[in-house]
Chain A
Amino acid sequence: DIQMTQSPASLSASLGETVTIECLASEDIYSNLAWYQQKPGKSPQLLIYYANSLNDGVPSRFSGSGSGTQYSLKINSLQSEDVSIYFCQQNYDSPPTFGGGTKLELK
Chain B
Amino acid sequence: EVQLVESGGGLVQPGRSLKLSCAASGFTFSNYGMAWVRQTPTKGLEWVASISTGGGNTYYRDSVKGRFTISRDNAKNTQYLQMDSLRSEDTATYYCARQRGRYYFDYWGQGVMVTVSS
Residues of chain A at the chain B interface (Cβ within 8 Å): 32, 34, 36, 42-46, 49, 55, 87, 89, 91, 94-101
List which B77-118 residues lie within 8 A (CB) of chain A: 95, 100-111
Residues of chain B at the chain A interface (Cβ within 8 Å): 44-47, 59, 61-62, 95, 100-111
Besides A46-B105, A89-B45, A91-B103, 6 new A-B residue pairs in contact (Cβ under 8 A), listed by A number: A34-B105, A44-B95, A49-B100, A87-B45, A95-B61, A96-B103
Taking CB atoms, residues of chain B closer than 8 Å to A89 are: 45, 103
B45 touches A91 (CB 8 A): no
Q: How many A-B residue pairs have CB under 8 A?
A: 48
* Distance in angstroms between the alpha carbons of A100 and B39 in the assembled complex: 11
B46 touches A98 (CB 8 A): yes
Taking CB atoms, residues of chain B closer than 8 Å to A44 are: 45, 95, 105, 108
Some 25 contacts from A to B, beta carbons below 8 A apart, are: A34-B105, A43-B95, A43-B108, A43-B109, A43-B110, A43-B111, A44-B95, A45-B108, A46-B104, A46-B106, A46-B107, A49-B100, A49-B101, A55-B106, A87-B45, A89-B103, A91-B101, A91-B102, A91-B103, A96-B47, A96-B103, A97-B47, A98-B44, A98-B45, A99-B44
